[in-house]
């Protein structure tokens, strides 16, 4: 009790906030798109029932699904340059980690969407004489994509929040900007409340839109 | 038209089809009957290679394929082209839910044969009219009854102008009152000279439409012959015991 909230310190760093917001959005969009591409490729490859194709993908997906993202980001920042013997800038190392993480989940979403399509659709298309490419493009994907949209949007929302972990390798996103402003103003309550509100302000409209999409897909 | 010789299909150690031979001539209607699990559906699915036979020879039109460890299976485009000449209708209709009835029927000609939209549409409209669905071209499968969906599925298969049509228990998933409309379409195709191989439990249909009836049991042909001979005077005791369950259906509605 008796704490006097004072947000004036927060506002005075408007320029920093805008930059941080830009970094957060750029990482979100970039890693979601990168992850989507990985997911489509790996998800497709999983359909080839060859062990030497599916097994590496299986391990890739599970390693990224079963370890904390924080560790992945730190690992790509500190360990990968040593392993590869190259100097990686922080923004790139962190970006690779986030992208591969999104890619792992996208792979699962993509694979799940495709195998959720009834076996009868595959056999009906084959019986008409469609090649695998034709049946994928005209019959399976149009149906599977609709089912993939809701889980993919959901994962993208999580991904946007996950970019906040970038602050551990000093990428100046919203979260890192928050920690700088805190160090300057000694107002952690106001600053982190504001950071939370900013994430909410971006994501809430997105979830509303996602719910609408889900309702459309359900039809 | 279709010639099958010594066809076998095994799953691991279980042999579902154990050496079936069959000759189907142009315009003939062959009906396959037998107790469930006798391998008749597996046999049918082998004919358009939805199942890969383990051994035997299959000839459709002028294309012959030998199966077995020493022969390589056709794949990719070759396999697709082979299938394109064989129409198949399934128990669960399996219409494409994201396409209207018209687009479903157009799908084979447009996607597989790369036919122009207008030409394919003309064919599809004709076929839908023929199966009595001329007024339903713009409907999606979910807006159609089971019987209507199955008739669209028949039109979809016919749109490829196949050399032979395969019917795999196409009325089994239908409500009883919808069976007739599908069988009527099949009868019409039969009278127009479509070559058909039909797996069914509709004995009255077999009696009225089949030129040749083949009885399968435990993966083998136990009896075959003209419909009235096999259905009304079966020689094989296993055929007789199987048919005894249907005798009321075979006897009634004789026309």
DSSP string, B175-222: -HHHHHHHHHHHHHHHHTT--EEEE-S-HHHHHHH-SEEEEEETTEEE
- Residue B239: its pLDDT value, please? 87
The answer to whether residues B42 and B17 touch, using CB atoms and an 8 Å cutoff, is yes
- Could you tell me which residues of chain A have a Cβ less than 8 Å from any Cβ in chain B? 118, 120-121, 123-132, 134, 138-139, 142-143
Q: Does domain A8-218 have CATH number 1.10.3720.10?
A: yes
Helices (H), B85-145: 101-107, 117-130
User: What confidence tens digit (pLDDT) does each residue in A104-131 have?
Assistant: 999 999 999 999 999 999 999 999 999 9
Rg (CA), chain B: 18
- B212-217, strands of its sheet edge to edge: B86-89, B164-168, B196-199, B29-33, B212-217, B220-225
Most confident listed range (A72-76, B73-77, B112-116, B242-246): B112-116
In CATH, the number for domain B1-80+194-255 is: 3.40.50.300
How many CB pairs below 8 Å do chains A and B form together? Answer: 63
- Cβ atoms B170, B146 nearer than 8 A: no
Which of B48, B88, B111 shows the shortest C-beta gap to A138?
B111
Question: What local confidence, expressed as pLDDT, does residue A48 receive?
Answer: 80
Question: Which residues of chain B are within 8 Å of residue A125 when distances are taken between CB atoms?
Answer: 96
DSSP structure string for B238-253: HHHHHHHTTHHHHHTT
CB contact under 8 A, A129 and B80: yes
Q: What is the ipTM of this complex?
A: 0.90
A9 pLDDT higher than 70: yes
Per CB-CB distance under 8 Å, the chain B contacts of A50 are none
pLDDT at B241: 85
Cα A164 to Cα A79, A177, B17, B84: the distances in Å are 20, 10, 61, 54
Residue given tokens 């077999």 in the structure block: B206
> Residue A132: closest CA among chain B residues belongs to which residue?
B76
Of B48, B76, B94, the CB nearest to A121: B94
Phi, psi of A72, deg, nearest 5: -60, -45
* Cross-chain Cβ contact A134/B90 below 8 Å: no
Q: Are B94 and A130 within 8 A, CB to CB?
A: no
Nearest CB to B83: which of A126, A139, A143? A126
List the domain boundaries for chain B: 1-80+194-255
The whole-number pLDDT of residue B251 equals 56
* Tokens matching residue B186: 């099949």
A47 C-beta neighbours (distance < 10 Å), count:
15
Q: How far, in Å, are A58, B25, B66, B97, B137 from residue B159 at the CA level? A: 41, 21, 28, 18, 14
* Contact call for A129 and B96, based on CB within 8 A: no
- Asked if the model's pLDDT at residue B253 lies above 60, the reply is no
Write the burial class of residue A23 (CB in 10 Å: 0-12 exposed, 13-18 middle, 19+ buried): buried
Q: Is a pLDDT exceeding 90 seen at residue B4?
A: yes
Q: How far is B77 from chain A (nearest CA, A)?
A: 6
Angstrom distance (rounded) from CA B211 to CA B234: 16
Chain B residue with the nearest C-alpha to that of A138: B111
- Domain spans, chain A: 8-218
Q: What's the pLDDT score for residue B249?
A: 64
Tell me how far apart the alpha carbons of residues B7 and A204 are, in angstroms, rounded to a whole number.
61
Quote the pTM value.
Answer: 0.84
Using left for φ > 0, alpha for ψ between -120 and 50, and beta otherwise, residue B12 falls in left
How far off is chain B from A125, nearest CA to CA, in Å? 8
CA separation for the pair A187, A5 (Å, rounded):
9
Taking CA A134 as the corner, what is the angle to CA B75 and CA B102, rounded to the nearest 5 degrees? 125
Structure-derived torsion over alpha carbons of residues A83, A91, A171, A36, reported in degrees to the nearest 10: -100
């Amino acid at each position: 009790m008796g704490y006097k909230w004072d947000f004036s310190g927060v506002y005075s760093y408007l320029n920093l906030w805008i930059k941080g917001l830009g970094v957060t959005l750029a990482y979100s969009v970039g890693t979601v798109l990168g992850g989507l591409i990985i997911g489509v490729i790996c998800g497709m490859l999983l359909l080839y029932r060859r062990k030497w194709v599916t097994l590496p993908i299986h391990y890739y997906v599970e390693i990224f699904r079963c370890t904390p993202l924080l560790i992945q980001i730190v690992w790509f920042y500190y360990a990968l340059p040593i392993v590869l013997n190259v100097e990686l800038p922080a923004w790139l190392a962190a970006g690779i980690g986030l992208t591969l993480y999104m890619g792992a989940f996208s792979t699962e979403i993509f694979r799940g969407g495709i195998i959720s399509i009834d076996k009868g659709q595959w056999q009906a298309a084959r019986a008409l004489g469609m090649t695998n490419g034709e049946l994928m493009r005209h019959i399976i994907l149009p149906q599977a994509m609709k089912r993939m949209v809701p889980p993919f949007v959901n994962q993208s929302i999580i991904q946007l929040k996950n970019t906040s972990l970038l602050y551990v390798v000093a990428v100046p996103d919203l979260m890192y900007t928050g920690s700088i402003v805190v160090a300057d103003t000694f107002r952690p309550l106001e600053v982190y409340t504001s950071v939370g509100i900013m994430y909410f302000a971006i994501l809430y409209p997105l979830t509303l839109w996602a719910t609408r999409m889900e309702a459309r897909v359900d039809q | 038209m279709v010639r099958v010789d010594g066809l076998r299909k095994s799953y691991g150690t279980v042999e579902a089809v154990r050496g079936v031979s069959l000759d189907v001539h142009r315009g003939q209607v062959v009906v396959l009957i037998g107790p469930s699990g006798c391998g008749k559906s597996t046999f049918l699915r082998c004919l358009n290679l939805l199942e890969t036979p383990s051994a035997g020879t299959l000839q459709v039109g002028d294309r012959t394929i030998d199966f077995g460890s020493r022969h390589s299976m056709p794949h990719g485009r070759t396999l697709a082209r082979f299938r394109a000449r064989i129409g198949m209708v399934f128990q669960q209709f399996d219409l494409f839910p994201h396409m209207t009835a018209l687009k479903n029927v157009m799908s084979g000609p447009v996607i597989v044969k790369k036919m122009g939209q207008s030409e394919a549409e003309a064919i599809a409209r004709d076929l839908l009219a023929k199966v009595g669905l001329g007024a339903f071209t713009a409907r999606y499968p979910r807006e159609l009854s089971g019987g209507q969906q199955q008739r669209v599925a028949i039109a979809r298969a016919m749109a490829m102008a196949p050399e032979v049509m395969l019917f795999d228990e196409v009325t089994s998933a239908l409500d009883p009152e919808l069976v007739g409309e599908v069988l009527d379409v099949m009868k019409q195709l039969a009278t127009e000279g479509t070559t058909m191989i039909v797996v069914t439990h509709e004995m009255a249909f077999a009696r009225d439409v089949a030129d040749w009836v083949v009885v399968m049991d435990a993966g083998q042909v136990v009896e075959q012959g003209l419909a009235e001979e096999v259905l009304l005077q079966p020689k094989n005791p296993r055929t007789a015991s199987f048919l005894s369950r249907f005798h009321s259906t075979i006897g009634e509605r004789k026309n």
